[in-house]
Chains A and B, each alone.
Chain A
Amino acid sequence: MTYVITGFYGSGKTEFSLNLALELAGQGGQVTLADLDAINPYFRSRERLDDMAKHGITVESDHLDNNTGYDLPAISFAFLSKVRRGENVIADLGGGDMGARLLAYCHEAVLSVPHQFLCVLNPFRPDTDTVDKMRGFIKTINAASPLKITGVVCNGHMLHHTTAEDVLQSEKMVAQVGLPVKYTMLRRDIYNQINDKLLSEKAMVFNKLQMREEWQ
């Protein structure tokens, strides 16, 4: 299965992609995480290359040496051979419609295999803080990309300040967008409080944020 992950800047695309990679790796089989972010060089999944390798996950980014300091659109499309073989591949796009334009290079391979194109939504981000804005955002992505979004991920959070109420309120809004809510992302302690109330098909439960240091 190929998963293509899109969303607004800072919606949690990378955090979700890393967690999805860990979940799939836990089920066995090869997992490749393709970091396709050529939009913003900060907080990209290649920063967690070593951690992912410990779980047998391959992270591919540029065709140079995966350095986190590169601000180059030197995307490697080596992952496409794995897409075509039907392996588990997660393509973590750059932010917004600009990030999604990169799919022009690889949509044919993705369309030839079972795939999901998921949009990560956080209603606490100002550009997706109403149902209308979320729908508008999805329209923008669909217009820029040859793939059409098949489902959404509810990632309603306020970082360390997130409450169970925040997650439930976010889910209610995200459910109104009109696409299947494939996942809801939430911290373990919040999940334990509200797991019987979740609306999404699946919960993506994490213990600690992957992309955030304690001092941040």
Chain B
Amino acid sequence: MMSKVLMKGNEAICDAAIRAGCKAFFGYPITPQNEVPEYMTKKLPEAGGVFVQAESETSAINMVYGAAAAGIRVMTSSSSPGIALKQEGISYLVGADLPCVIVSVSRAGPGLGGILPAQSDYFQATRGGGNGDYYLPVYAPFSIQEAMDLVFKAFDVADEYRTPVMVLFDGMLGQMMEPCTPVDKKPGNFDKKWAANGNSDGRAPNAVSSLSLKGEVLEQMNLRRFKTYDDIKAKETMVDNRVTDGDEVAIVAYGTPARIVLNAIEILKEQGIKAGLVRPITLWPFPYADFANLPASVKNVVVCELSMGQMVEDVRLGVNGKLPVHFYGRTGGMIFEPEEIAEQIKKIIGK
């Protein structure tokens, strides 16, 4: 047995989920996340869990609802159009305060789009397409090690706040390999008194539902849920902010593009231009404060995404008009090169 392992993002997701105590996985195949269900079909039963390939994404997310209601740690995964199909179920999970982990390995859209990597599902992840007032904590790793750590963490956060949690990848991160060390921690232990898992001990039956027909009751539930969201914002916001005093440009990117931007920053440094990366790790809650408090040396903010510009809207909210916020993106599965980013930055700052 080797001490270190070389894993693909999609495999790392599963390894971390099983270590976090995930005991049920429901999914449906779609490129570029197929290794997730494939891995789970072999390894989850070995770990004492259940794997079901559902007949559609919609049924998969409703199976997640069932397992979560029974108090079991459960996960599903899909890619862009598949996540779109799950939106109804996600809204129902929120309405019933059910914890689960949803992995989204994003590909190019809209519609069936293509199979190559993209980040055009930022709105889908952070704003959602389900009905009602809700948010999901959304984690966006940029390395395979971080993918492992965040998937593991996602299960604890889901249970602690009784909310679905999404971990958002782009196709490249799902497919690429990196050396990593599997998580060697104990998953959190949560007493799920609310779970509908049998009351042979004589306690009153638990009911799990998102239906609430009394206006005054439903409003109180929404207010309570948004108090929880305030809690999540205060305690769970994560950002990798590498901008230091003296940097003239802040470049904002998450996931795979953040890796490319780090190389672009090196190229710019060689040419005497100081730039720093701000990498949101939680896309919701978004690290707005980091953009309100950039060092005075920063004169321009540039957001780089594999989309037509989605996270840039949150960056503008954070910067709040204090600085010009520019955007550079590629779509359709095309990926920018470090040199390309460096050129764009130089154009933007007039050098």
Q: Which B residues lie within 8 Å of A157 (CB)? A: 6
* Of A49-57, A121-129, A188-196, the one touching chain B: A121-129
Q: Roughly how many angstroms separate A40 CA and B35 CA in the complex, as a whole number?
A: 9
Chain B, 125-181, CB within 8 A of any chain A CB: 171-172, 175-179
Q: Roughly how many angstroms separate A159 CA and B31 CA in the complex, as a whole number?
A: 25
Check B179–A124 contact: CB distance below 8 A.
yes
Interface of B is mostly: mixed
Check B2–A124 contact: CB distance below 8 A.
yes
Chain B, 244-274, CB within 8 A of any chain A CB: 259-260, 262-263
Q: Which A residues lie within 8 Å of B6 (CB)? A: 10, 122, 124-126, 157-159
Nearest B residue (CB) for A133: B1
Check A41–B115 contact: CB distance below 8 A.
yes
Q: Which A residues lie within 8 Å of B15 (CB)? A: 126
Q: Which B residues lie within 8 Å of A124 (CB)? A: 2, 4-6, 179
* A117 part of interface (Cβ distance < 8 Å): no
* B282 part of interface (Cβ distance < 8 Å): no
Check B1–A129 contact: CB distance below 8 A.
yes
Chain A, 68-86, CB within 8 A of any chain B CB: 68-69, 71
Q: Which A residues lie within 8 Å of B1 (CB)? A: 129-130
Chain A 161-177, CB within 8 Å of chain B: the 1/0 string? 10000000100000000
Check B11–A126 contact: CB distance below 8 A.
yes
* B276 part of interface (Cβ distance < 8 Å): no
> In the complex, how many angstroms separate the beta carbon of A118 from the nearest chain B beta carbon?
20
Check B11–A42 contact: CB distance below 8 A.
no
> In the complex, how many angstroms separate the beta carbon of B17 from the nearest chain A beta carbon?
15
Nearest A residue (CB) for B12: A126
Chain B 2-16, CB within 8 Å of chain A: the 1/0 string? 101111100100010
Residue in contact with A71 in the complex, picked from B5, B115, B259, CB distance below 8 Å: B115
Check A41–B7 contact: CB distance below 8 A.
no
Interface of A is mostly: loop
Q: Please give the number of chain B residues whose Cβ is less than 8 angstroms from any Cβ of chain A in the complex.
A: 30
> In the complex, how many angstroms separate the beta carbon of A94 from the nearest chain B beta carbon?
12
Q: Which B residues lie within 8 Å of A207 (CB)? A: none
Q: Roughly how many angstroms separate A40 CA and B9 CA in the complex, as a whole number?
A: 14
Q: Roughly how many angstroms separate A124 CA and B337 CA in the complex, as a whole number?
A: 29
> In the complex, how many angstroms separate the beta carbon of A86 from the nearest chain B beta carbon?
36
* A206 part of interface (Cβ distance < 8 Å): no
Q: Which A residues lie within 8 Å of B8 (CB)? A: 9-10
* A105 part of interface (Cβ distance < 8 Å): no
Check B179–A9 contact: CB distance below 8 A.
no
Q: Which A residues lie within 8 Å of B295 (CB)? A: none
Q: Which B residues lie within 8 Å of A10 (CB)? A: 6, 8, 177
Nearest B residue (CB) for A128: B2
Nearest A residue (CB) for B333: A69
* B310 part of interface (Cβ distance < 8 Å): no
Q: Roughly how many angstroms separate A8 CA and B35 CA in the complex, as a whole number?
A: 12
* B338 part of interface (Cβ distance < 8 Å): yes
Chain B, 320-342, CB within 8 A of any chain A CB: 333, 337-338
Q: Roughly how many angstroms separate A124 CA and B8 CA in the complex, as a whole number?
A: 12
* B32 part of interface (Cβ distance < 8 Å): yes
* B66 part of interface (Cβ distance < 8 Å): no
Check B115–A215 contact: CB distance below 8 A.
no
Q: Which B residues lie within 8 Å of A215 (CB)? A: 259-260, 262-263, 338
Check A214–B263 contact: CB distance below 8 A.
yes
Check A129–B5 contact: CB distance below 8 A.
yes
Check A69–B114 contact: CB distance below 8 A.
yes
Q: Which A residues lie within 8 Å of B78 (CB)? A: none
* B348 part of interface (Cβ distance < 8 Å): no
* B116 part of interface (Cβ distance < 8 Å): yes
> In the complex, how many angstroms separate the beta carbon of A44 from the nearest chain B beta carbon?
11
Q: Which A residues lie within 8 Å of B2 (CB)? A: 123-124, 129, 169
Given contacts A71-B115, A125-B5, A213-B337, 15 further A-B contacts (CB under 8 A): A9-B35, A10-B8, A40-B32, A40-B175, A68-B116, A69-B116, A123-B2, A126-B11, A129-B1, A158-B4, A158-B6, A159-B177, A161-B4, A215-B262, A216-B259
What are 13 sample pairs from A and B whose C-beta atoms fall under 8 A apart? A9-B8, A41-B115, A42-B32, A69-B115, A69-B116, A71-B115, A123-B2, A125-B5, A125-B6, A126-B7, A126-B15, A157-B6, A158-B4
List of 6 A-B pairs having minimum Cβ-Cβ separation, nearest first: A42-B175, A124-B6, A71-B115, A158-B179, A215-B263, A215-B260
